Structure 1
Amino acid sequence: MILTYCYRINPSPEQVAIMERWLELLRRHSNYALGQRLDWLNRTRSPIDRCSLVSEPIGEIPEPVNYYTQQADLKETKKLFPEYKKIYAETQQVNLQRLNKAWDRWRKPDVNGKRGGRPRFKKTGELRSFVFPRVNSSKAGAHLIDGVLKLSRIGSMPVIMHRPLPVGFTLKQCTIVKKADGWYCCLSMKDDTVPELLPLDSVKSAVGIDVGLEKFLTTSDGEAVPIPQFYRKAQGKLAQAQRIMSRRVKGSNNWKKAKHKVALLHLHLTRCRKEFHYQVAHWLCSKYDLIAHENLNIKGLARTRLAKSINDAAWGAFLEILQAVAVKRGLLVQEVNPRGTSIECFNCGSRVEKNLSDSAKPTLRERVHCCSSCNVKVDRDWNSGINILNRGLLAVGLPLDGCGKSAQDVVREASASAEEQQVSFVRLRSPHHNL
């Protein structure tokens, strides 16, 4: 198992200047290497027996450009530009490896036939991290001993160890990251032991979760977590900070100060959202052994009119965190097909069409699942959660009434009228939101 812990470091002003210079030099080299690859691609794209009607490059056909040829050119780069001799050699190699991965994602499709976007040239300040691929070994460029991080050709600096390193893990890699509020080191560590997943025979409790925008999620047990809307609540202060930045002369010191304030606000929102996701994930994993959720096309949903709210909820980031927390605890997480979970009745299986309008205050009929066949009235999201749970149990091979609430229990708990139906809300400890 591989873990990554992030700690804050306190470099001296001289060390900050060195690291910022490294980032700028690595950015320039990465852009040059990307330009080499694109030039080779443009000159060799035309087949030998035909040419384009628009234009074709002329001249000699260059040699193939890949990671190994560009790595071999590092010696020539250091001769032409002596500043690159001050950068740790393995750090420059990892910089080229990053470009090679981005290039392969663009040129080579994955198992599903999808490819990533074309690598782009980085502007000044866009490269914010560099890597030492080995830690605490004989030839490593980074050494962490007793809360002091020693980096080759940079020096020693204290590390704020706000939590101890886990026992039994071996440090593998150190990434130095520049954020809006300072410098950080991300330590990747590995342990050969893998947590054993819980056997299906030992699953005692299961739950299905339905994520949404009115409520962050609703469980098949009828509990709901309110959505915090961190970005929506901070829009006023963000707009004010961005308005101040737009009125400054671009590139001036006042513009840089205003830009730094905007970056601090976005960093704070990101941390609040991440903390909230971890709280919900740990709450679910502490109560249930099996968690089923929908396999949503979040990128497609983010292209609709609800894009701002969907990106603010960050369902994709939450599901990744939920999967990571569950694996550490040895629990099970199952994806199910989302098609028809809101329309299908959990009790009788009949289809109940619903029309959830885009208005700010949808009617009660739109938010309540009212089945005319079995006369069941429950919350719309609660019905979806139960359907997700049933599909998750079928996917792993467990009986529908093997764990959790059965359909009869939910029917007994559901109110006779939609007006009386109340879903219990779970209020977690919210992160500080004083912007």
Structure 2
Amino acid sequence: MLLTYQFKLNPTPEQVVTLETWGELLRRHWNYTLGERLDWLRRTRSQIDRCSLVSEPIGKIPDRADYYTQASDLKRTKELFPDYKNIYADCQQQNLLRLDKAWKRWLTPDKKGKRGGRPRFKKRGDISSFTFPRVNSPKTGAHLVGSVLKLSKIGEIEVILHRPIPDGFEIKQATILSKADGWYVSFSLEDKTVPALLSRDKITTATGIDVGLEKFLTTADGQSVEVPQYYRKAQSKLARQQRQLARKIKGSKNHSQQSSKVAKTHLHVARQRKEFHYHVAHWLVNSYDLIVFENLNIRGLARTRQALSILDVAWGAFLEIMQAVAVKCGKLTLGVDPRGTSINCSSCGERVEKTLAIRVHSCSCGLVIDRDWNSALNLLKRGFALSEVVRASVFEGEGSVGLPIPGCGGLGDTQPVKQQVSYVNLRYSRYIACN
């Protein structure tokens, strides 16, 4: 299992200058090597019976540039530009590996036939991180001793260890990165043991979650979490700060200081959202053994009129965090197709057409519940249909205690009744870490 722990660094002013210099030199090297690859691609993409004399130069076609040829040229780069001798060699190689991965994602489609975007040239400040691929090993450039991080050609930097590194985990690599409020280090930790998932005779609770904009999510047992709207609440402050930034002269000290204020406000909003996502994820994982969620096309939804609100709640980031927390705790998650979950009745299965403005599901069978609650119940039913493990443990009764069924008629034979969604107070105490 892999974990990433991030800690604040406390470098000296001289070390800050060194870190910024490394980032700028790596940015220039990225642009040069990307230019080599694009030049080879342009010079070799013409058809064999013609040549693009207008747009491409005439001459010898260069050899194909890849990671191995560009890594072997690092020695010559240091001879021509002595400043690169001050950068640890592994960091330069990792920079080339990043470019190679981005290049392959662009040219080679994945299993679903999708490709990434073309790698871009970086402007000043775009590369604000570099990686030491090995830590605490012989002949490596990074060593963590207590609360001091020793980096080759940089020196010792104090690390603010706000939480201990888990026992049994090995530090695999360290990434130094710059944020609006200072420098940080991200340690990649590996534990050879994989947390065991729950066996089917131990699954006792399950739920479906429907995410939305009016309510952040609604569970199959009627509990809902309100949307915090962190970005919406910070919009007026950001607008004021950006107006002040527009009045500053570009390149001046005042412009730099005001730009830092805007960046810190954005960073604060992002941290608020991430903390909220972790709180909700831990609450769900601690409450249920199986969580069924909807596989949404978030990229497509973000092109609608509600794009700002959709990006503010960040469903995709939350679902990734929830699945990671579930794996860490040994719980189960399952994604299902969301089509029709808001329209179909969770009690009788009849289609009840409704617009987005209608927030209550009212069916001819007598079921009257919140629209999102009805969708969560349908998601849970689809999760039962897809998960053979849950079906065996729940319906065949092989040693399981059984799943609690909500009393709104969505999953059982009880008479449907009118229900209201209850809200969960998530101005929480600190969430309990999973064992």
Q: TM class, shorter-chain normalised?
A: over 0.9
Gaps of 5+ in 2: 396-401, 430-435
Give the fraction of aligned pairs with identical amino acids, expressed as a percent. Answer: 62
The equivalences for 1:32-431 within 5 A come to 32-51=32-51, 55-356=55-356, 362=357, 366-372=358-364, 374-397=365-388, 398-399=390-391, 402-406=402-406, 409=409, 415-416=417-418, 421-429=419-427
Give the conservation status (yes or no) of the 8 Å contact 2:366–2:417.
Answer: no
Distance 2:126 2:135 in 1: 26
The answer to which of 276-285 and 193-202 deviates more is: 193-202
Distance 1:56 1:282 in 2: 56
Aligned residues: 418
Distance 2:89 2:378 in 1: 55
Distance 1:430 1:316 in 2: 23
Quote the offset at 1:270 in angstroms.
Answer: 0.4
Rate the CA distance shift 1:74–1:349 in 2: closer, same or farther, 3 A.
same
For 2:399, the equivalent position in structure 1 comes to: none
Distance 1:56 1:134 in 2: 42
Distance 2:415 2:268 in 1: 41
Quote the offset at 1:263 in angstroms.
Answer: 0.3
Distance 1:379 1:53 in 2: 66
Quote the offset at 1:202 in angstroms.
Answer: 1.6
The superposition leaves residues 243-300 of structure 1 with CA deviations (integer Å, 9 ceiling, x where unpaired) of 1111111111111011000000000000000000000000000110000000000000
Rate the CA distance shift 1:38–1:343 in 2: closer, same or farther, 3 A.
same
1:346 alignment partner, SS class: coil
Give the conservation status (yes or no) of the 8 Å contact 1:346–1:407.
Answer: no
The superposition leaves residues 125-179 of structure 1 with CA deviations (integer Å, 9 ceiling, x where unpaired) of 1111011111000111000011110000000011111000010011110000100
Distance 2:406 2:227 in 1: 27
Distance 1:385 1:57 in 2: 60
Distance 2:274 2:219 in 1: 20
Give the conservation status (yes or no) of the 8 Å contact 1:347–1:407.
Answer: no
1:193 alignment partner, SS class: coil
Quote the offset at 1:57 in angstroms.
Answer: 3.7
Rate the CA distance shift 1:245–1:350 in 2: closer, same or farther, 3 A.
same
Give the conservation status (yes or no) of the 8 Å contact 1:207–1:404.
Answer: no
Give the conservation status (yes or no) of the 8 Å contact 1:225–1:426.
Answer: yes
2:420 alignment partner, SS class: coil
Distance 1:406 1:220 in 2: 7
Distance 2:45 2:101 in 1: 21
Rate the CA distance shift 1:414–1:309 in 2: closer, same or farther, 3 A.
farther
The answer to which of 17-26 and 194-203 deviates more is: 194-203
Distance 2:198 2:387 in 1: 12
Give the conservation status (yes or no) of the 8 Å contact 1:42–1:57.
Answer: no
Give the conservation status (yes or no) of the 8 Å contact 2:366–2:416.
Answer: no
Quote the offset at 1:9 in angstroms.
Answer: 0.9
Give the conservation status (yes or no) of the 8 Å contact 2:408–2:416.
Answer: no
What is the Cα-based RMSD across aligned positions, in Å?
1.7
TM-score between both structures, scaled by the size of structure 1? 0.93
Give the conservation status (yes or no) of the 8 Å contact 1:206–1:288.
Answer: yes
Give the conservation status (yes or no) of the 8 Å contact 1:203–1:290.
Answer: yes
What letter corresponds to residue 201 of structure 1 in structure 2? Answer: D
Distance 2:107 2:326 in 1: 34
For 1:359, the equivalent position in structure 2 comes to: none
Quote the offset at 1:49 in angstroms.
Answer: 2.8
Distance 1:300 1:430 in 2: 33
Distance 2:224 2:277 in 1: 14
Give the conservation status (yes or no) of the 8 Å contact 1:293–1:335.
Answer: yes
Distance 1:384 1:428 in 2: 22
Rate the CA distance shift 1:300–1:228 in 2: closer, same or farther, 3 A.
same
Distance 1:201 1:387 in 2: 24
Give the conservation status (yes or no) of the 8 Å contact 2:23–2:129.
Answer: yes
Distance 1:34 1:240 in 2: 38
Quote the offset at 1:404 in angstroms.
Answer: 3.0
What letter corresponds to residue 384 of structure 2 in structure 1? Answer: L
Distance 1:164 1:428 in 2: 26
Quote the offset at 1:52 in angstroms.
Answer: 5.2
Gaps of 5+ in 1: 357-361
Distance 1:426 1:281 in 2: 13
The answer to which of 388-397 and 303-312 deviates more is: 388-397
Quote the offset at 1:194 in angstroms.
Answer: 0.6
Rate the CA distance shift 1:388–1:9 in 2: closer, same or farther, 3 A.
same
Distance 2:290 2:156 in 1: 46
